[in-house]
């Protein structure tokens, strides 16, 4: 008698919560939910299209990930893309990605690294040819895919999940401050190519240093806006 209820609790509500999380982050990145905005659970129901039960289960995760916080007597507030968030997010990235890059350099396949190079060189060629309507979106995907490949190569679910939450915060910072635009697109891609060149030479120390410089450059741009 109790088993079906347990299956329902461990099954469908979990899936709903995951879908509600995806809906929330999509709307956050689409600026339908804005940093600093105050929201109620019922407003999140309306924004995401998911039931109140799923939202109630979602809220603790959003709080734990620093995407929302509860302000006494005011309700829930969406995270600000402020200087504190910039400092924390980029520091966390540096800790994770420096070591991950060294390990990736030692064991990533030649084919995977070659594919990363080809993607970056194609983006640069399109930019230097004058660009097109999908260039920014494709450049951001290329950016993300390199960093995710390096992190996911660790085969550590905890690290991968923590990185993706941090990357979401970086996206918020970019969206309101330093989203990859034409004037920085090629320099960012060339930063990546320096990392890829070090990886190709199987020099983990140099690759880690190039990653550190790349993250430092991104942090400097974010702090200047």
Tokens of 69: 């916080």
Q: Per residue in 87-132, pLDDT tens?
A: 899 999 999 999 999 999 999 999 999 999 999 999 999 999 998 9
Side by side, which strands form the sheet with 75-78? 38-39, 75-78, 68-71
Question: What pLDDT, on a 0 to 100 scale, did the predictor assign at position 28?
Answer: 84
Cβ neighbors of 223 (< 8 A, separation 6 or more) are 83, 86
Tell me the whole-structure pTM to 2 decimals. Answer: 0.80
Residues of the chain with pLDDT under 70: 1-14, 174-182, 225
The pLDDT score that the predictor gives to residue 5 is 34
23: enclosing H helix or E strand = helix 12-29
- Closest-CA residue to 204 (of 81, 57, 102, 70): 102
pLDDT at 70: 86
Contact 74, 37 (CB under 8 A): no
Question: What is the pLDDT, as a whole number, of residue 176?
Answer: 53
> To which residue do tokens 């347990």 refer?
6
- What does the pLDDT read at residue 155? 97
SS3 breakdown of the chain: % helix, strand, coil, rounded to 5? 75, 5, 20
Q: What's the pLDDT at 173?
A: 75
Distance of alpha carbon 92 from alpha carbon 131, whole angstroms: 33
> What ranges make up the beta strands (E) of 52-140?
68-71, 75-78
Q: H or E stretch including 99? A: helix 83-107
* CA nearest neighbour of 197 among 103, 97, 114: 114
Nearest to 172 by CA among 72, 24, 9, 11: 24
CA end-to-end distance (rounded Å), the chain: 59
- pLDDT of the residue at 182: 62
């Amino acid at each position: 008698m109790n088993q079906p209820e347990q299956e329902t609790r461990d099954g469908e509500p979990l899936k709903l919560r995951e879908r509600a999380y995806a809906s929330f982050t999509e709307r956050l990145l689409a600026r339908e939910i804005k940093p600093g905005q105050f929201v109620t659970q019922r407003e999140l129901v309306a924004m995401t299209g998911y039931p109140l039960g799923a939202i109630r289960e979602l809220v603790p995760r959003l709080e734990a990930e620093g995407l929302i916080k509860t302000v006494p007597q005011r309700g829930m507030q969406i995270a600000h893309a402020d200087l504190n968030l910039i400092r924390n997010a980029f520091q966390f990235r540096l800790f994770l990605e420096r070591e991950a890059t060294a390990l990736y350099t030692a064991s990533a396949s030649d084919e995977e690294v070659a594919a990363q190079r080809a993607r970056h060189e194609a983006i640069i060629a399109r930019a230097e040819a004058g660009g097109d309507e999908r260039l920014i979106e494709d450049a951001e995907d290329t950016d993300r895919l390199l960093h995710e490949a390096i992190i996911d190569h660790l085969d550590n679910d905890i690290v991968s999940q923590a990185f993706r939450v941090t990357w979401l915060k970086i996206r918020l910072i970019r969206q309101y401050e330093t989203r990859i635009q034409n004037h920085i697109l090629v320099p960012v891609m060339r930063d990546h190519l320096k990392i890829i060149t070090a990886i190709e030479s199987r020099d983990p120390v140099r690759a880690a240093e190039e990653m550190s410089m790349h993250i430092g450059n991104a942090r400097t741009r974010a702090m200047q806006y």
